[in-house]
Amino acid sequence: MPVAQKVVVAATSPREFIVRHLAMFAAAALFVFVLSLTYGLDLSPGFF
């Protein structure tokens, strides 16, 4: 890890670190949910 990045990590509070990771986890879960909704949907060029 570069020194500048270590300084940024050390400067953030633990609460901010946790909130940021929870937000990224929620975004990933939402992305997977949207992908699961489109499973089996015909998106071939002939559909349009």
Per-residue tokens: 6: 């270590």
The per-residue pLDDT for 10 is 58
pTM for the whole structure: 0.60
More confident residue, 15 or 8: 15
Which letter, b or e, does each residue of 24-45 get, where b requires 16 or more Cβ atoms within 10 Å of its Cβ? Answer: eeeeeeeeeeeeeeeeeeeeee
Q: How far apart are CA 48 and CA 43, in angstroms?
A: 8
CA 10 centroid distance within chain: 22
With a cut of 70, say whether residue 11 has pLDDT above it.
no
Confidence of residue 25 (pLDDT cuts 50, 70, 90): very high
With a cut of 60, say whether residue 32 has pLDDT above it.
yes
